[in-house]
Amino acid sequence: EIKLIGFELEGMRSLWQRKLVSIDRITALERDAVRLKGEHGQLTAAIAQSKGRTSEIRLQIIQIDQDLRSEVATELRDVQAKISESVERKVSAEDQLKRIDIRSPQTGVVHQLGVHTVGGVISPGELIMLIVPVTDDLTVEARVAPQDIDQLMSGQSATLRLSA
15-26: per-residue pLDDT in tens?
778 887 788 888
How far apart are alpha carbons 57 and 41 in whole angstroms? 24
How far apart are alpha carbons 17 and 11 in whole angstroms? 10
The model's pLDDT over 43-91, given as tens digits with 9 standing for 90+, comes to 999 999 999 999 999 999 999 999 999 999 999 999 999 999 999 999 9
pTM of the model: 0.44
Is 121 part of a structural domain of the chain? yes
Query: Does an H or E element contain 73, and which?
Result: helix 23-100
Is 118 part of a structural domain of the chain? yes
Is 117 part of a structural domain of the chain? yes
How far apart are alpha carbons 117 and 121 in whole angstroms? 9
Output the average pLDDT for the chain.
Answer: 87
Q: Is 105 helix (H, G, I), strand (E, B) or coil?
A: coil
pLDDT band at 164 (very low <50, low <70, confident <90, very high): low
Which residues are bridge partners to 112 per DSSP?
A: 130
Q: Which domain holds residue 135?
A: 108-145
Q: How many domains does the chain have?
A: 1
12 CB burial (10 A radius; 0-12, 13-18, 19+): buried
Task: Provide the 8-state DSSP code for 90.
Answer: H
Is 23 part of a structural domain of the chain? no
Is 138 part of a structural domain of the chain? yes
Q: 123-134 as b/e, with b when 16 or more CB fall inside 10 Å? A: eeeeeeeeeeee
Is 112 part of a structural domain of the chain? yes
